[in-house]
Amino acid sequence: MTERRRVVVTGLGVISPVGIGKELFWDALRNGRGGVSRITRFDPSNLPTQIAATVDDFVPEQFISRKDVRHMDRSTQMAVAASRMAVADAGLAEGGYDPYEFGVCYGSGIGCLGTIETEHANYLADGPRRITPFLAPMMIPNMPAGQVSIQLGLRGVSRCIATACATGSDCIGDAFETIRRGAATLMLAGGVEATITRFVIGAFANCKALSRRNDSPETASRPFDRDRDGFVMGEGAGTLVLEDRDHALARGARIYGEVLGYGATADAYHVTSPDTTGEPMARAMQLALREAGLSPTAVDYLNAHGTSTPLNDKFETKAIRLIYGDAAYKIPISSTKSITGHLIGAAGAVELIATLLCMQHDFIHPTINLENPDPDCDLDYVPKVGRPAKIGIAMSNSLAFGGHNASLVVAHPEAV
């Protein structure tokens, strides 16, 4: 049997409601500066939820030709931009690799719905002749992955995964496994979401998933708080360069961390609610730790899914207790979504980037807005203010509508 390769992270690219690029993103995380505000992209006054975490300073032409921008949905634009950032950050912008050894695994939880909404309105107003001939390739859900491959000239495997809010983590897990088994040397992995539209906000609000704290948007995303009332829809993209460790060392690459384990399970329970026992999520964490060859007590930090919904936070806490036992009370845990809102398909990737940046800077970012802890959420959620900490081993969790669970374990380069 061929020995499995070791996989490291050598590049990061992020577009978030609190900053574009890893430096601005980290500054917001470290200082607990949130990105939720009243929606200004359209008039939300007749919607029950009127707030979101938007990226208002994204200029796609800074990363993509004007011609190509016109033929891409906003989500695809963000995926390409974040991927260009990650490749440049990894020192690969000038090439120096076999394009057939460089693959892509990229996904979106909702897809290119903004473009579909616009073109459907054109169709209703003036008939089929008003539909852009580019709609078909713009709207299909694999297009972020496809355009990342096209724009960067990557000819290795190119896959799209759609597991709702677990998409980003599953894409990273799949890329990790692809390199481990020798099917690629380098992979771009991540997720994207850009669906802050009237239709999408209305749909999620009507299923009682979104916060309605319209009078105080900056405090609306409050994971593990007793007064939480739903998540805040966000947009953005996160891309990581995963690389065979020997290849990275040979070219003198900077290494952010090593991916040690990935675990995934299904609740097989309900379309929106997590399993109330917490057992399937606990099993995903257990699988990731088993692949990493670690016990739960080895983990120094956990980045929780932490959506700010009544059910998710309660049952994720239960899952953490199941796998970690008494040690659960000694592990610092934080929710990036308290700062960024919920980036849906991008969440897992952006949150693993946050985890790696915490590791790099020896600092755990806070869970902001955690003013009144829920008695059912009684762990150390690093409330309101971050703290210095040495992180050798970290875990990042994702849960999703449909019952998808994913967990990733990463290590500081000096810890393995």
Is residue 104 within 8 A of residue 156, CB to CB? The reply is: yes
Q: Is 165 a catalytic residue?
A: yes
What count of other Cβ atoms lies within 10 Å of the Cβ of residue 302? Answer: 27
Residue 105 bears catalytic tag: no
The residue type of 401 is F
Q: Catalytic pick from 112, 160, 165, 358?
A: 165
∠ at Cα 348 (347, 353), nearest 5°?
95
Amino acid at 205: A
List 71, 305, 365, 404, catalytic entry: 305
Q: Is residue 270 annotated as part of the catalytic site, yes or no? A: no
Instruction: Give one DSSP letter per residue of 175-234, joined into a string.
Output: HHHHHHTTS-SEEEEEEEE---SHHHHHHHHHTT-B---TT-GGGS--TTBTT---B-BB
**Helix, strand, coil percentages for the chain (3-state, nearest 5):** 40, 20, 40
Name residues whose C-beta falls within 8 Å of residue 372's C-beta, 6 or more positions apart in sequence: 225, 226, 227
CA distance 354 to 47: 32
Q: Which of 71, 105, 112, 342 is catalytic?
A: 342
By DSSP bridging, strand 186-193 and strand 102-108 are parallel
Phi-psi region of 342 (alpha: psi -120 to 50; beta: other; left: phi over 0): beta
User: In terms of Cα–Cα distance, which of 240, 244, 61, 80 is closest to 149?
Assistant: 80
Q: Which two tokens stand for residue 117?
A: 């909404």
Angstrom CA distances, 151 to 66, 69, 146, stand at 13, 11, 9
Say if residues 171 and 106 touch (Cβ distance below 8 Å): yes
Rounded to whole angstroms, the Cα distance separating 60 from 30 reads 27
Q: Which residues are catalytic?
A: 165, 305, 342
